[in-house]
Amino acid sequence: MFKAQLKFQKILSYVLLGVFALFFIYSLSIMTHVYRTLYFAYDPDLELPELGLSGEHVKGAKLFYDMQPFNQALVACAIVMIVVAVTYFLTASNARRKYYVGNYVSAGLIAATDIGIAVYSIIGIVKYRALYLQVDFEALKAYNEPKGLPYSVSTFWFDIGFVVCILLVATAALVIFNAIWKTRLMKKENQLLTGVGGIN
């Protein structure tokens, strides 16, 4: 059991790095599709509310600009996750046979960060996906195609975000599971050493 758990916590360290790297890549990539599809259909210099001008050549095209704060927040969240993940290695949670306070603090930080960022991301993705679907795609097609600009109604980059967030929550669950598993094995080991019980 001890060998299995030690192997599991080592594998978990790679899972953490992989999922966090995936989120970081996603945070940098989510705007690519929106940029290519909507960027040229909106001109901020033509947005003059006092004259009733929205600056949009196509209804909903301003979404690319409206999403910028959310996208920047995702990048910041990705950086925070990577920094928090470093504590897993600083506390040697990937290699220790016994866990101490620092190891549990690290596990708690990682789990809380994962879940918090996943919830925040899902809320934002749901919001902006809905706004994206409100774009006048017929008008967008008519505007983009003659100019040789890409046109797509795909919500792939929004939808894949849900998958990434599910992976974050799953990672948080694995970190908590690992901490509980480690605690139980440590307790059994102490019982064995004191002659109270043994390891099943």
Q: Tell me the two tokens of residue 154.
A: 């795909």
Average pLDDT over every residue of 189-195: 77
Asked if residue 12 is part of any domain, the answer here is: yes
Which residue in this structure is represented by tokens 């001109």? Answer: 43
**Domain, as residue range, for 81:** 6-48+59-194
pLDDT for the residue 150: 78
How does pLDDT run across 101-145, given as a tens digit for each residue?
999 999 999 999 999 999 999 999 999 999 999 998 888 888 888
For the chain, the domain total comes to: 1
Residue 135 lies in a domain: yes
Domain for residue 22, yes or no? yes
- Give the separation between CA 18 and CA 171, rounded to whole angstroms: 10
Instruction: Tell me if 54 is assigned to some domain.
Output: no
Residue 1 in any domain: the answer is: no
Tokens at 62, concatenated: 């301003």
**Does residue 194 register a pLDDT over 90?**
no
Residue with tokens 């019982």: 191
pLDDT of residue 9 exceeding 70: yes
Please choose, from the candidates 157, 153, 161, 127, the residue with its C-alpha nearest in 3D space to the C-alpha of residue 38: 153
Tell me the per-residue pLDDT of 74-105, one tens digit each, with 9 for 90 and over: 999 999 999 999 999 999 988 888 888 999 99
pLDDT above 60 (res 155): yes
Q: Is residue 88 part of a domain?
A: yes
Secondary element (H or E) of residue 48: strand 42-48
Residue 200 lies inside a defined structural domain of this protein: no
The DSSP output letter for 152 is -
Give me the amino acid identity at 137. Answer: F
Q: What percent of the chain shows pLDDT beyond 70?
A: 90
